[in-house]
Chains A and B, each alone.
Chain A
Amino acid sequence: MVEIKDPKSKKYDRQLRIWGAHGQAALESAKICLLNCGPTGSETLKNLVLGGIAGFTIVDGSKVEQQDLGNNFLLSEADLGHSKAQGVSSLLKELNDSVTGGFVETDPEQLINDQPAFFNNFSLVIATQLREATMLKLDDICRAEGVKLLAVRSYGLVATLRVSAAEHAIVETKPDNAVGDLRFHAPWKELHDFAMSFKLAEMDEIMHKHLPFAILLIQAVGHWKAGHQGKLPSGSKERTDFKALLKSWQRQIDGIPVEEENFSEAMTNASKVWSQHGIPSEVQAILEDDCMNLNSSSSTFWCLAAALKRFIEQEGQGCLPLEGTLPDMHATTDLYLQLQRVYQTKAESDVTAVETHLRAILKDNASSISSISRAEVKLFCKNARHLRLVRFRRLSEEFGISCKHNVLRQALTAEDQATNATLYILLRAVDRFYESHKHFPGTFDSPPESEIPMLKAKAGALLSEVGASPSPAWDDCLAEMCRFGAGELHCVAAIIAGMAAQEGIKLLTKQFVPQSGTLVYNAMGSTTSVFCL
């Protein structure tokens, strides 16, 4: 008898239900590098360790002091005077025994300057509490090696989060309100024939009210097209007429239509006949991307996209592969199953067609990819309508002259964003303050208020680069920024760390769409804003 233990699936049961076994497998192969392990960094990594990453390396050159115990849960009295990276690393390993961990007792800034190759082998680098100048260097290093970067920072009651990566392609975007494509507007032959094989007029009462609404709609579309030069109903007048046509097929008693659930479903779903069934603009952009000129080192995503393009041009006749899922509808179990089979068969044959193109493409380009499983092709086809490609802006673009100043200007005058935009500018100003004064405002011996004018000068300069004038909250925010004294409050750190880990999981599992810009969290007003700069 074989003993099978599967403790992992039990341990991760609740999250497996969100990102699936393949998502979990991606997490379990991820190697994370954390720079600085204050509360923000430690809490972020803690969340990922609980999720079950493969391993981590913490880089932090500092020793544990009394004040660290006040805001970092992963350190205890016994760690006082010892390496902070070591303390956090050993406790994190205790949280999940399938995660391996290590540490380097060096200042991250020094490592970035001296050993750029250090970062090459990580899946994700999480840089916390680093200043602008250091982040710029790190971004260049990570981009050159295709390593994804997550910048996280908490500063008093404000926190920020930013992803940087040259390219992040997502198959499973998992949109909230996806409407499946049921091809009512253009049924393929088998579906058309199946739908037309039912003669409404000849049916008994029971059959009549159990004919799935999908069949009703396909019949109605056929009927409509025949009388309108093959065109679908357009405009509200024609759409009303289309519904009237459906209604006229309902059974009547003394001229009054009998209530039939399948018909009311057909009415509510009639809009699916004329709603968008083209190729969404995000997907179109992918199909026209420069990366579609494949070479031997093109990624799986681009090879699949190329196969998809050929399918659309050939078998698909302009359509994406069929998803193949049929929503629940009022019908006899038997009819429902038959109809479901029609959809599934077509979806399978579309997958086969895409797969055939893919094999040819891999061969033609002498691709280095050893294999792409049918399951992968299937997943790609099923999600073809929702594919997304995100190219994050370089930090040097955001922090330099190509920053989208107009976005900032607009935010500074928008009622619901002005404060967060102001805080964004001030967070950049404190870094400039540091470059000049070698400390953050409010952390020196003098009272915090005395440094307000110096910070105001830095912030004012930034503001004029942006070409904006101060928002009404300007002076108050300046004063707050000085009072924060660069402190990390645990509750703010915990919140931004939760969000950071969530973005990290999206990047690692390639599921859901990550934030595309810089996120500012403001604990005072419980608000977040995202600025794409």
Chain B
Amino acid sequence: MNGEAASPGWPQVVRAKLLQQRMKEAKILAVGAGGIGCELLKTLALSGFENVQVVDMDTIETSNLNRQFLFRKRHVGQSKAKVAAEAVQRFRPSCKINAMQANIKEPQYNVGWFKGFDLVLNGLDNLDARRHVNRLCLAAEVPLVESGTAAYLGQVTVHIKGTYECFECQPKATPKTYPVCTIRNTPDKPIHCIVWAKDLLFQRLFGRADVVSDLDEAAEKAEGETEGDAAAAAEQEASFFVRQTGESSFAYADRVFHRVFCFDIERVISMKDLWKTRKPPVPLRLDELRHAAAGAASTNGIHKSSSSQQATADLSACRLLGIRDSHAAWSTAQSAQVFLMATQLFLDLRSDEVGAAVFDKDDALAVEFVAAASNLRSTCYSISPLSLFDIKGMAGNIVHAIATTNAIVSGLIVAEAIKLLAGMPENCRATHLRSSVHTGRSGRERIIGPSMLEPPNPNCPVCGTAQLSLEIDTHKTTFKELLDRVVRRKLAVAQPTIQYDGFMYEEGPDLDEDEVADYAKFLGRPLHTLPAGGIKDSSVVEVSDQAQKLELSIIVTHQEEWDEEKDPEAFSLGGKLPVASADAPAEDSSVAGLSSLTGANDDDEGIEEVFEEPAFEARPNLTSKRKRSDEEQSPIEKRLKAANNLGEDCEVID
């Protein structure tokens, strides 16, 4: 399209009475009441929108206060959606904001519910929920304005079924994975130790016992034991971490320390094969460290009375130990002190949580525990220790966030929403917010760069007709593993129905107990032993989700050989060209109702600028890229990708 000829002529429309009426009446769904959400609700209210529904499951935390400006200190712990709605309404009583503290993925928010809105605006921070909302918007045929931010970078895109790409037409990078063996036995980077401390040790000590981490299970097998041995070993290992009756918290912390930083390390050293090309780790001895440490932990356990009725949320081992600087790396002795103290505090003062705790980046004590444990492990493996601050960032996948970016992005969302309500979807743009000086090929500085929205990708497995290909070991992989690792984690399907010739499996609240029990019998079976011939090489499996109105077709290839370094997940999922191309893009019905407002669209002034560089690379398939190729990308690419994937860039997958 010629730049000067294309006419986003909404300035006249924006002042039109008809549009103002339309904005007043439009039913808007705002998903998320966090950094973007707060700004968005405010800007919507002040732009003349009066019917807004906001959904957010989170509660307010202290670290939100510096940019989620609708919240005050007194609101910490309350629902983000509710507090935000009240705050905006108090200032603008004419704007009706209905708030729900809930997960947008809950089944009551079905296609029928989504159909009740004229527009959906996303201010979400996790990829899973963004993909879910995308699918419901497609099914309900409601236009979606999507957004994402990371530090100074941000982007706003518009998705209309049949007209523009859906959110998933360009594959999104999936979480980064690390080989289990590296995490368990041969870490060589701080992140390996952090992942170990957070997903393995923290989970073992304080988490739910019945959640057997993928890491535990696969690791035992990886050491070359048989299935039976592995199960026994895992059970034995798990039982070790149970606190004995009458055992003091001090004795327990001591015992765990010795086990994981001495006994286990010695055991790993004995696996000679591992150390042919590597330097073996060095075990830590607590008595030596304790000697070096001044105020060691209390041998009598810690009681509520002795710590002056501190709120459990404020518990901090560092504070009790007088360690102030969160930016400096601790000495090994300090790490040992923090490890012991944090373990004791957990057992003595947060005992009700033990057995059910979930790691949370804003839980100071949990972060201290993870920092201490990962630094101790780093010491064993001659990896440089990191500061508490750095570890918190890495453990929590903390996305850098600043108020200014949220402000800009929210304004851009509303600008696109107004164009949509004005019945001018052709004037919508994808807008990219760059860091300070981005000099394009023309040598010109710019902060905001628009680009034309692309038509739907016919190869998109979500809104198109593409078939996916899956390479997997159909003999070793169980049906449950397929559901958990491929269907839920990779494909973001919430409530899967699986079908192939002669077999069907369903999930969902509509099933009765007997059905659930019947289906559960299949879960532990290897794929090739499932009924009706099982899932094997060349099987075509249909995966669907009724709530998401999603239907995917997967063609399976049996693959036994997997390189653990390259494919730690031991499967590979790829896109495949569609058999037949999609129908010609249909006239979009969802915005047809708005086109009565295009009367003013005769203004031919051209203000259209095409951004010079594509901000996102389109990937040829869905296979998650490996570490090395990630590092080859420029930092800006990586960060843009992060902007698109908020906060999900690091997760252990076996």
Residues of A within 8 A of B (CB): 1-4, 6-7, 9-18, 21, 39, 43, 46-47, 50-52, 69-73, 76, 94-97, 156-157, 176-177, 206, 210, 328, 332-334, 337, 415-420, 472-473, 476-477, 480, 483-484, 489-492, 494-495, 497-499, 501-502, 505-506, 512-517, 519, 521-530
Indicate if B42 sits at the interface (CB-CB under 8 A): yes
Q: Whole-angstrom distance from the CB of B182 to the nearest CB of chain A?
A: 12
- Complexed CA–CA distance, A243 and B404 (Å): 47
- The interface size bin for chain B is 35 or more
B-chain residues with CB within 8 Å of residue A70 when the two chains form the complex: 46
Indicate if B609 sits at the interface (CB-CB under 8 A): yes
B-chain residues with CB within 8 Å of residue A46 when the two chains form the complex: 69
- Complexed CA–CA distance, A383 and B620 (Å): 38
Q: With A14-B398, A530-B445 in contact, do A177 and B404 touch (Cβ < 8 Å)?
A: no
- Segment with Cβ contacts to A, from B171-179, B264-272, B406-414, B509-517: B406-414
Indicate if B587 sits at the interface (CB-CB under 8 A): no
Q: Whole-angstrom distance from the CB of B473 to the nearest CB of chain A?
A: 25
Q: With A176-B634, A491-B47 in contact, do A47 and B3 touch (Cβ < 8 Å)?
A: no
Q: Whole-angstrom distance from the CB of B640 to the nearest CB of chain A?
A: 10
- Complexed CA–CA distance, A38 and B476 (Å): 66
Q: Whole-angstrom distance from the CB of A105 to the nearest CB of chain B?
A: 22
Q: With A7-B62, A12-B66, A521-B448 in contact, do A513 and B404 touch (Cβ < 8 Å)?
A: no
Contact B398 A13 (CB under 8 A): yes
Contact A524 B607 (CB under 8 A): yes
- Complexed CA–CA distance, A133 and B523 (Å): 76
Indicate if B220 sits at the interface (CB-CB under 8 A): no
Which residue of chain B is the closest to A527 with respect to CB atoms? B609
- Complexed CA–CA distance, A177 and B47 (Å): 39
Q: A15-B67, A52-B66, A527-B450 are in contact. List 6 more A-B contacts (CB 8 A).
A: A14-B66, A177-B636, A515-B447, A516-B445, A528-B446, A528-B447
B-chain residues with CB within 8 Å of residue A13 when the two chains form the complex: 63, 392, 398
- Please indicate which of the listed interface residues A13, A97, A517 has the most CB atoms of chain B within 10 Å of its own CB: A13
Contact A515 B436 (CB under 8 A): yes
Which residue of chain B is the closest to A411 with respect to CB atoms? B444
- Complexed CA–CA distance, A135 and B73 (Å): 39
Contact B402 A337 (CB under 8 A): no
Indicate if B635 sits at the interface (CB-CB under 8 A): yes
B-chain residues with CB within 8 Å of residue A14 when the two chains form the complex: 63, 66-67, 398-402
8 Å CB contact of A502 from B152, B603, B605: B152
B-chain residues with CB within 8 Å of residue A418 when the two chains form the complex: 4
Contacts A/B (CB < 8 Å), 19 sampled? A6-B324, A17-B398, A18-B151, A51-B66, A51-B402, A177-B635, A328-B189, A328-B631, A419-B606, A476-B603, A476-B605, A494-B414, A502-B408, A505-B402, A505-B404, A512-B436, A516-B437, A528-B447, A529-B444
Q: With A4-B324, A415-B3, A419-B605 in contact, do A50 and B447 touch (Cβ < 8 Å)?
A: no
Q: Whole-angstrom distance from the CB of B52 to the nearest CB of chain A?
A: 15
Which residue of chain A is the closest to B361 with respect to CB atoms? A13
A-chain residues with CB within 8 Å of residue B401 when the two chains form the complex: 14-15
Residues 33-53 (chain B) with a chain A CB within 8 angstroms: 39, 42-43, 45-47
Contact B429 A490 (CB under 8 A): no
Q: With A333-B383, A480-B11, A512-B436 in contact, do A494 and B319 touch (Cβ < 8 Å)?
A: no
Residues of B within 8 A of A (CB): 3-4, 8-12, 14-15, 39, 42-43, 45-47, 62-63, 65-67, 69, 72-73, 90-92, 151-152, 188-189, 276-279, 318-320, 322, 324, 326-327, 381-383, 389, 392-393, 398-412, 414-415, 418, 429, 431, 435-437, 442, 444-450, 603-610, 631, 634-636
Q: Whole-angstrom distance from the CB of A421 to the nearest CB of chain B?
A: 11
Contact B446 A332 (CB under 8 A): no
Q: With A206-B276, A415-B3, A494-B39 in contact, do A333 and B327 touch (Cβ < 8 Å)?
A: no
Q: Whole-angstrom distance from the CB of A478 to the nearest CB of chain B?
A: 10
B-chain residues with CB within 8 Å of residue A3 when the two chains form the complex: 319
- Complexed CA–CA distance, A16 and B389 (Å): 10
- Complexed CA–CA distance, A41 and B449 (Å): 24
Q: With A73-B91, A529-B444 in contact, do A17 and B66 touch (Cβ < 8 Å)?
A: no
> Which 10 pairs from chain A and chain B are nearest by CB?
A525-B607, A498-B407, A476-B605, A498-B408, A495-B411, A490-B46, A526-B450, A494-B411, A530-B445, A502-B404
Contact A18 B402 (CB under 8 A): yes
A-chain residues with CB within 8 Å of residue B43 when the two chains form the complex: 490-491, 494
8 Å CB contact of A415 from B4, B67, B327, B435: B4
- Complexed CA–CA distance, A73 and B92 (Å): 9
Q: Whole-angstrom distance from the CB of B576 to the nearest CB of chain A?
A: 29
Contact A95 B402 (CB under 8 A): no
A-chain residues with CB within 8 Å of residue B398 when the two chains form the complex: 13-14, 17
Q: Whole-angstrom distance from the CB of A148 to the nearest CB of chain B?
A: 16
Q: With A47-B403, A415-B3 in contact, do A176 and B635 touch (Cβ < 8 Å)?
A: yes
- Please indicate which of the listed interface residues A17, A21, A177, A417 has the most CB atoms of chain B within 10 Å of its own CB: A17
B-chain residues with CB within 8 Å of residue A95 when the two chains form the complex: 69
- Complexed CA–CA distance, A502 and B404 (Å): 6
Q: With A50-B66, A498-B407 in contact, do A473 and B607 touch (Cβ < 8 Å)?
A: yes
Contact A416 B3 (CB under 8 A): yes
Q: Whole-angstrom distance from the CB of B319 to the nearest CB of chain A?
A: 5
Q: Whole-angstrom distance from the CB of A338 to the nearest CB of chain B?
A: 11
A-chain residues with CB within 8 Å of residue B415 when the two chains form the complex: 491, 495, 523, 526
Contact A334 B382 (CB under 8 A): yes
Contact A332 B278 (CB under 8 A): yes
Contact B604 A476 (CB under 8 A): yes
- Please indicate which of the listed interface residues A15, A47, A526 has the most CB atoms of chain B within 10 Å of its own CB: A526
- Complexed CA–CA distance, A29 and B55 (Å): 38
8 Å CB contact of B607 from A96, A497, A512, A522: A522
Q: Whole-angstrom distance from the CB of A162 to the nearest CB of chain B?
A: 13
B-chain residues with CB within 8 Å of residue A523 when the two chains form the complex: 415
Q: Whole-angstrom distance from the CB of A517 to the nearest CB of chain B?
A: 7
Which residue of chain B is the closest to A327 with respect to CB atoms? B631
- Complexed CA–CA distance, A526 and B43 (Å): 17
8 Å CB contact of A177 from B9, B279, B634: B634
Contact B610 A416 (CB under 8 A): yes
- Complexed CA–CA distance, A472 and B399 (Å): 44
- Complexed CA–CA distance, A16 and B402 (Å): 9
Contact A473 B606 (CB under 8 A): yes
8 Å CB contact of A73 from B4, B46, B405, B435: B46
A-chain residues with CB within 8 Å of residue B383 when the two chains form the complex: 333
Contact A501 B411 (CB under 8 A): no
Which residue of chain B is the closest to A388 with respect to CB atoms? B437
B-chain residues with CB within 8 Å of residue A521 when the two chains form the complex: 448
Which residue of chain A is the closest to B390 with respect to CB atoms? A17
- Complexed CA–CA distance, A472 and B45 (Å): 36
B-chain residues with CB within 8 Å of residue A506 when the two chains form the complex: 436
B-chain residues with CB within 8 Å of residue A71 when the two chains form the complex: 46
Contact A4 B322 (CB under 8 A): yes
- Complexed CA–CA distance, A243 and B634 (Å): 23
8 Å CB contact of B448 from A206, A476, A526: A526
Contact B403 A51 (CB under 8 A): yes
- Complexed CA–CA distance, A334 and B275 (Å): 12
Q: Whole-angstrom distance from the CB of B519 to the nearest CB of chain A?
A: 43
Contact B8 A43 (CB under 8 A): no
Which residue of chain A is the closest to B45 with respect to CB atoms? A73
B-chain residues with CB within 8 Å of residue A332 when the two chains form the complex: 277-279
Q: Whole-angstrom distance from the CB of B577 to the nearest CB of chain A?
A: 31
B-chain residues with CB within 8 Å of residue A530 when the two chains form the complex: 444-446
- Complexed CA–CA distance, A501 and B411 (Å): 14
Q: Whole-angstrom distance from the CB of B604 to the nearest CB of chain A?
A: 7
B-chain residues with CB within 8 Å of residue A494 when the two chains form the complex: 39, 42-43, 407-408, 410-411, 414
Contact A419 B63 (CB under 8 A): no
8 Å CB contact of A156 from B11, B444, B445: B11
Q: Whole-angstrom distance from the CB of B6 to the nearest CB of chain A?
A: 9
8 Å CB contact of B11 from A16, A17, A47, A483: A483
- Complexed CA–CA distance, A402 and B651 (Å): 57
Contact B407 A495 (CB under 8 A): yes
